[in-house]
Copies of this chain bind each other. A is one copy, B any other.
Amino acid sequence: MRQLNDLSTPAVVIDLDVLERNVARMAERARQHGVRLRPHAKTHKIVAIGRLQTAAGAVGLSVAKTSEAEVFADAGFDDLFVAFPVVGQDKGRRLVRLAERVRLAVGTDSVEGARTLAEPFAQAGRVLDVMLKVDVGYHRVGVEPDRAPAVAGQIAELRGLRLRGIFTHAGHAYAQETPEAVAAVASHEGKALALVAEGLRAAGLPIEQVSVGSTPTARHAMTVNGVTECRPGNYVFHDASQVALGSCRLEDCAMTVLATVVSVPAPGRAVVDAGSKTLSSDALRPHAGGHGRILGRLSRIDKLSEEHGVIAVQPGESFRVGERVRILPNHACVVTNLHDRLWGVRGEAVEDELPVAARGRVE
């Protein structure tokens, strides 16, 4: 069997034991709290890992884009949620074809946007399930809770659509300084969304699903009464930001980047062959702090250009040209999207090549 040392660098390596433990734990947690688990596939974009998740009990997958849904539908997944406010008749027509072969729902946060999907579905004599996005504090997309009844009411009246439920993403959890603050965001996320659901039901709108998202908030938000579904993504791999946020321990991180030291040009500086084209430029959260931890060392990647990762060598440490290191990235999801394949390993043995089937699907 191929060994880690046989891989050409840089290479993105997934510890399969850790991956499988992460998948099982989140599934067990969802079961305990009686919520449906619909993991966000954006983190892995890999068919085999999606199958691990459904085998462990996930009801289906969340994806971000229409084109990602197409990839997973082609691979046989039959229950998909596009957790993004999709807008455009061109996308609507693609979704009509998709809805012919899978159970489908799509996010929306405006009547104008919903109408661009309703029209192709109405023309085709079909009905698309939509989920209304509610903003519970991240202030990215989503309607404010007090506008939800009016918008939901108008969307529910559009021919070609059926309002299945509501959803949120508490992305501001990633800016919190302490695990307690993350828990508070999560608790508010679940309670605010459950309250919106009650209001909509009181207004006569049947709300089947009340869906929360994100790995840092999942464990907390899924305990809130009224929450029916949870959509964490990052938990399959975790990363340096999740460690910093207190979402996991270092040993729960499944993804590392294997790199070679290619230059030690001056005291205090060493350079690896993994730059932003491998690790991405995404900052560490909640506080910026380099571009990747080096396993077993105190030194970290301090600067990145596309093909170079510059290590600030800490006193007492040293690196030599040709040496291989493993780097824990700041943000696993964006690393996946930069690579055609990840390598599944157990210890030193390379067990699987994992094609990133939905990589680069932006539409």
- Interface of A toward B, CB cutoff 8 Å: 8-11, 42, 64-65, 84-88, 90-91, 109-110, 112-113, 116, 135, 139-144, 171, 260-266, 269, 271, 273-274, 276-278, 280-283, 303, 305-308, 310, 320-322, 333-334, 337-340, 359-360, 362-363
| Cβ-closest 8 pairs across A and B | A112-B321, A281-B281, A141-B263, A87-B262, A8-B363, A64-B307, A85-B262, A113-B321
Specify the main secondary structure of chain A where it touches its partner. loop
Q: Which residue of B is nearest A10, CB measured?
A: B362
Q: In the complex, what residues of B have CB within 8 A of residue A274's CB?
A: 362
- Assembly CA distance A169 to B303 (angstroms): 16
Q: Which residue of B is nearest A87, CB measured?
A: B262
25 residue pairs bridging A and B, Cβ less than 8 Å apart: A10-B362, A11-B363, A42-B307, A84-B307, A85-B271, A87-B322, A110-B265, A110-B321, A112-B321, A116-B322, A135-B266, A139-B265, A140-B271, A140-B303, A140-B308, A144-B266, A171-B305, A276-B282, A277-B334, A277-B337, A277-B362, A306-B333, A307-B362, A338-B338, A338-B360
Q: In the complex, what residues of B have CB within 8 A of residue A306's CB?
A: 42, 64, 333-334, 337
A88's partner among B8, B64, B116, B141 (CB-CB below 8 A) is B8
B265 touches A142 (CB 8 A): yes
B321 touches A271 (CB 8 A): no
A360 touches B340 (CB 8 A): yes
5 extra interchain contacts, Cβ-Cβ under 8 A, other than A142-B263, A338-B362?
A: A110-B265, A110-B321, A139-B266, A140-B305, A277-B337
A262's partner among B141, B273, B339 (CB-CB below 8 A) is B141
Q: In the complex, what residues of B have CB within 8 A of residue A273's CB?
A: 84, 87
Q: In the complex, what residues of B have CB within 8 A of residue A42's CB?
A: 306-307
In the assembled complex, the CB of A289 is this many whole angstroms from the nearest CB of chain B, namely 15
In the assembled complex, the CB of A110 is this many whole angstroms from the nearest CB of chain B, namely 5
Q: Which residue of B is nearest A111, CB measured?
A: B321
- Assembly CA distance A308 to B88 (angstroms): 16
Among A88, A142, A265, find the residue whose CB has the most chain B CB atoms closer than 10 A: A265
- Assembly CA distance A340 to B109 (angstroms): 29
In the assembled complex, the CB of A292 is this many whole angstroms from the nearest CB of chain B, namely 14
A260's partner among B88, B264, B280 (CB-CB below 8 A) is B88
In the assembled complex, the CB of A52 is this many whole angstroms from the nearest CB of chain B, namely 22
A339 touches B362 (CB 8 A): yes
A90 touches B281 (CB 8 A): no
- Assembly CA distance A171 to B307 (angstroms): 13
Q: Which residue of B is nearest A169, CB measured?
A: B305
In the assembled complex, the CB of A272 is this many whole angstroms from the nearest CB of chain B, namely 10
A281 touches B278 (CB 8 A): no
Q: In the complex, what residues of B have CB within 8 A of residue A307's CB?
A: 42, 64-65, 84, 362
A9's partner among B261, B266, B269, B363 (CB-CB below 8 A) is B363
Q: In the complex, what residues of B have CB within 8 A of residue A85's CB?
A: 262-263, 271
A262 touches B86 (CB 8 A): yes
- Assembly CA distance A84 to B30 (angstroms): 48
In the assembled complex, the CB of A140 is this many whole angstroms from the nearest CB of chain B, namely 6
Assess A143 versus B265: contact at CB under 8 Å? Given A88-B260, A320-B112, A321-B110: yes
Q: In the complex, what residues of B have CB within 8 A of residue A86's CB?
A: 262
